[in-house]
Amino acid sequence: MRWFAYNGDADGICSMVQWGLVHGIEGKRITGVKRDIELLRKVFAKEGDELVVMDISLARNASLASDIERNGVKIQWFDHHLAGSYKGNIETYIDNSPSVCTAIIVQEYLGIKSNWSQVALHGDGLSDVSTMPNLKELGELLNYNGYGKDISDLHFHPDTLLLSCMQAKTPEMFLETKEFEILKKGFAKDIEKSESISLRDGAYILPNEAWARRVVGVFAHRINSESSGPHVIAIEKEGSYQISLRGQSGIGELCAMFGGGGRETAGGIDDLPKEDMAALMNEVDTRRDK
């Protein structure tokens, strides 16, 4: 049997569509919301099975991967996140250069030319690299659909979107589907709600509701494109905040001081106790452009 484990965001879905249009997607497919990166926990492959992984970090799944490999499963791994130093015999197609996404890697592996890889570039925020600006909205909408606490927050299960994309065959045809229309309307509604959120003591505080959990990534991106920051965008939970931090530099490091992590310009803290918010804001204030 063939297993697939793929990220439920635009890049993961587009990678799968490309594979599926060539080889089919029969088998057992495991996916989830974008933040669910330990998908290999749900793979129960047996000796002689195959596993294809798309757009999931090998570094963060190394021990799960090695357990599966030791069971006699052949693994092919396509990704552009940090790979770490994996010691096993996985067939890896990993390239973490900043202008590449997984769908580009898969396209090359398959030896095809596909506009789905262009959709994926937009989804991963690499519009500068894409040669097809007409597919930007689709990439962003597929990416937006992956955001939520769990599947119930999403407009569509990522696997349902995968099947619709395959049925449409091309991104251009997908733009004519009712699924695209639903994503477009859903996104517009969420964004409209987010426009009522204003600064409170230096931070943007969103309620812990499905619409906010879906749109928080795009909201943070918009705030950040307006000024240099750092910007604190928080979802208010019971005793804590889920923090998204955006800025020009040192953001991952700043998040790490509070138990989170991230990159130079974007980061997050999953569960910041409310009593630590003042300390975080102090750190943020010292880094603000004066």
Query: Which segment (55-63, 178-186, 192-200, 208-216) binds Mn ion by CB under 5 A?
Result: 55-63
Residues 136-195 interacting with Mn ion (rule: CB under 5 A)? none
Q: Which is nearer to Mn ion, 80 or 155 (CB)?
A: 80
Of 49 and 140, CB closest to Mn ion: 140
- For residue 158, is the peptide bond before it cis, meaning its omega torsion is within 30 degrees of 0? no
The answer to whether residues 41 and 48 touch, using CB atoms and an 8 Å cutoff, is no
Q: What is the DSSP string of the chain?
A: -EEEEE-SSHHHHHHHHHHHHHH---SEEE---TT---GGGG----TT-EEEEES--SGGGHHHHHHHHHTT-EEEEEE-S------S--EEEE---TT--HHHHHHHHHT---THHHHHHHHTT-TTT-S-GGGHHHHHHHHHHT-SSSGGGSSS-HHHHHHHHHHH-SHHHHTTSHHHHHHHHHHHHHHHHHTT--EETTEEEEESSHHHHHHHHHHHHHHHHHS---EEEEEE-SSEEEEEEE-SSSHHHHHHTTT-EE-SSEEEEEEEEGGGHHHHHHHHHHHS--
Selected from 55, 159, 179, 190, the binder of Mn ion by CB under 5 A is: 55
Task: Pick the binder of Mn ion from 65, 106, 122, 124 (CB under 5 A).
Answer: 124
Of 7-15, 27-35, 215-223, 246-254: span binding Mn ion (CB under 5 A): 7-15
Compute the least distance from the CB of residue 139 to Mn ion, in Å.
Answer: 11
Which lies closer to Mn ion via its Cβ, residue 102 or residue 145? 102
Closer residue to Mn ion (CB): 101 or 284: 101
Tokens coding 186: 């859903």
Q: Which of residues 8-27 bind Mn ion (CB under 5 A)?
A: 11
Determine which residue in the list 101, 105, 106, 269 makes contact with Mn ion, applying CB under 5 A: 101
Nearer CB in complex with Mn ion: 124/159: 124
Question: How many residues belong to the site for Mn ion (CB under 5 A)?
Answer: 5
- Residue range at the interface with Mn ion (CB under 5 A); choices 3-11, 107-115, 205-213, 229-237: 3-11
Give the residue closest to Mn ion by C-beta: 11
Q: Is 121 in the site for Mn ion (CB under 5 A)?
A: no
Q: Which stretch binds Mn ion (CB under 5 A): 108-116, 119-127, 160-168, 216-224?
A: 119-127
Q: Which residues bind Mn ion (CB under 5 A)?
A: 11, 55, 101-102, 124
